[in-house]
Structure 1
């Protein structure tokens, strides 16, 4: 199981490195530009690469949790998060100003699904009182709060109120969601490093 966890951490680390490199090589404002827009930059290929690595890391950590006897819903949520991350990378968003396409729709709803699943997994692990339970709970709650801030502008636009990302820190709130959810995933794996010799408490 330790090999699975180390491989999972390596994939997450490589994905984070690719994401940071993409940001450094782009000229977008991270305060307002959402991460999806970086796919149209010259180094945009790093975005699907990073998301695929996150998906691989999540799958490896989910398998380690399964072998440790973790709650099956936690395992399924981590697998679902990884699958959603892969879809987000495989189906790029639309260029700014264009109507929502099928690719853009898959991208948007896969991202929303991922943003919902990881905090739920973190809260379930915290409820099972694994190592770092308090940190898992805090990060999960922060992720949910930031997700609400991400969703609000879309709801406002549905009522016909013009609101662009330049008017709000859309990029910042989205990055808070992504960073906290990666933190939840990493802590889920770290919680297993010293419990490989015993089973993780499963939730009833």
Structure 2
């Protein structure tokens, strides 16, 4: 580039700066713009981690408080959703679902998750909301529509999260690796193995005429799968909330205020 071109560019920038200064328009520096963008991108993930952590804490509290009444080997986690206090369990699962959405929003904003991974993560959240809203079957009365919807929601949730984690954190998606992505990917693979193992046991039991809920210690297996998947979700959230997971392109936003300054056009010099 010639010296005349350099002088013309400097003159143009000086003219724009003088025009903004005359109208009282402040132009944020590029580092400040980057920080603001990072805050907007990381904030949903941090809120999501907080909501998910609160929901998990409530569920753990329900588990501990019901050890004398509920057999964790045979009874599923959804047993906490039955009875007068079932709304507490429903709220906890709802918090976990909302936190998952927040994590997904951050991943999508930062372009860390593709379309399939984002859809799978939202499928996990929808499945959780279904299990939170609809009670499981009360076998002392018989099967119900609510229980069937609850079962479908559980199936969708437990199937979608491993798929989402593996798709989002797979080593084929990016060259740079972090501890959070490695942990999330490993837990995602473990979750897939859980699902495959459960499906295999159900298949073997069906061929031998054994009901699927008696093939394995259902409560223990479900809790093992749930712990693995929730840990994978938290690792995904830590990755989404950590600055520097992806380099942001420097940008320039005109105007210091979002109102009238955004509609002003600087003169051409």
TM-score, normalized by length of structure 2?
0.66
Residue 99 of structure 1 and its aligned partner are, at CA, apart by: 3.9
C-alpha root-mean-square deviation of aligned residues, in Å? Answer: 2.4
Alignment of 1:145-156 (within 5 A): 145-151=193-199, 154-155=202-203
The answer on whether the counterparts of 2:73 and 2:218 sit within 8 Å (CA) in structure 1 is yes
In the alignment, what sits opposite 2:136?
93
Structure 1 position 8 matched with structure 2 position 48: yes
Matches of 2:115 and 2:234, distance apart in 1 = 18
Post-superposition Cα deviations, 1:91-142, rounded to whole Å, max 9, x if no partner, equal 1101135543211111111111111111111111222245333322221121
Alignment of 1:1-204 (within 5 A): 1-26=41-66, 27-40=69-82, 43-70=85-112, 71-127=114-170, 128-129=173-174, 130-131=177-178, 132-151=180-199, 154-155=202-203, 161-163=209-211, 168-192=216-240, 193-195=242-244, 198=247
Aligned pair count reads 199
Give every structure 1 segment of 4 or more consecutive aligned residues whose post-TM-superposition deviation is greater than 6 Å.
Answer: none
Residue 160 of structure 1 and its aligned partner are, at CA, apart by: 7.9
In the alignment, what sits opposite 1:202?
none
Residue 196 of structure 1 and its aligned partner are, at CA, apart by: 5.8
Matches of 1:105 and 1:157, distance apart in 2 = 21
**Structure 2: gaps (5+ residues):** 1-40, 249-269
Matches of 1:31 and 1:17, distance apart in 2 = 20
The verdict on how the C-alpha distance between 1:38 and 1:160 changes in structure 2, with shifts beyond 3 A counting, is farther
Give the match's secondary structure for 2:86. Answer: coil
Residue 21 of structure 1 and its aligned partner are, at CA, apart by: 1.5
Matches of 2:42 and 2:74, distance apart in 1 = 39
TM-score, normalized by length of structure 1?
0.85
The answer on whether the counterparts of 1:81 and 1:114 sit within 8 Å (CA) in structure 2 is yes
Post-superposition Cα deviations, 1:9-55, rounded to whole Å, max 9, x if no partner, equal 11011101110121122221112211112222564322211110011
Residue 172 of structure 1 and its aligned partner are, at CA, apart by: 1.4
Moved more, 190-199 or 139-148: 190-199
**Higher alpha-carbon Rg:** 2
Moved more, 154-163 or 48-57: 154-163
The answer on whether the counterparts of 1:146 and 1:174 sit within 8 Å (CA) in structure 2 is no
In the alignment, what sits opposite 2:260?
none
